[in-house]
Amino acid sequence: MRSQSPPHTALLPSQCACAVTRQSRVIRSGILTILTILQSVELRLSPVSRTMFRAALRLSVSGARSLTRSRPQYTGKLAARSYSHGKQETDEEFDARWVTYFSKPDIDAWELRKGMNTLIGYDLVPEPKILEAALRACRRLNDLASAIRILEAVKDKSGPHKEIYPYVLQELQPTLNELGIPTPEELGIDKA
């Protein structure tokens, strides 16, 4: 007959902490012994070697200290990551939000630049109605440079899709004419 092995019992948290503390004491005493030996070796080194030795010793001591820190042997239930399952913004709501942002009568130059930087940071080319609101904000601020930068950003954002920028310009042409804003091509700054 086979001998029965004693049933395994789980350690209590206090027993785990004691085991970790004992282990830490053993490691610390070993480290102290090593440090005294290394310090006696340091006395026999040249000044340059001594400096390098001290730097290496500091790094090794800080690494050894991390070994002696007690770590919990068990962890509680990990927090579950909760993703937002809220309402997703539709394209129309997105466009309306940005048109409203740029249509604020008291928008200042900083808000205009921040809004455009945020908008250009998205993985999309803004709709012409958003750009129209941004260009009208530029006109309210008398900021021709920002208006031209917006058009340059749209051209850059279009990337390899050559049909997007002409479409946007075609849609914005009445607004550009009304506001007196030239395109980068009309100014000749599109050629780098």
Domains contained in the chain, number: 2
Read off the pLDDT of residues 22-58 as tens digits, 9 standing for 90 and up. Answer: 666 666 676 666 666 666 666 666 776 667 766 766 6
Read off the pLDDT of residues 5-18 as tens digits, 9 standing for 90 and up. Answer: 555 555 555 555 55
> Is residue 57 in a domain?
yes
- Structural domain range at position 63: 13-68
Q: Is the same domain home to 37 and 95?
A: no
Q: Is the same domain home to 99 and 179?
A: yes
> Is residue 192 in a domain?
no
Total residue count of the chain as it appears in this document: 192
> Is residue 22 in a domain?
yes
Q: Is the same domain home to 105 and 23?
A: no
Q: Is the same domain home to 170 and 116?
A: yes
Q: What pTM was computed for the model?
A: 0.56
Closest CA to 134 of 158, 156, 160, 152: 152
> Is residue 50 in a domain?
yes
Contact between 72 and 15 (Cβ < 8 Å):
no
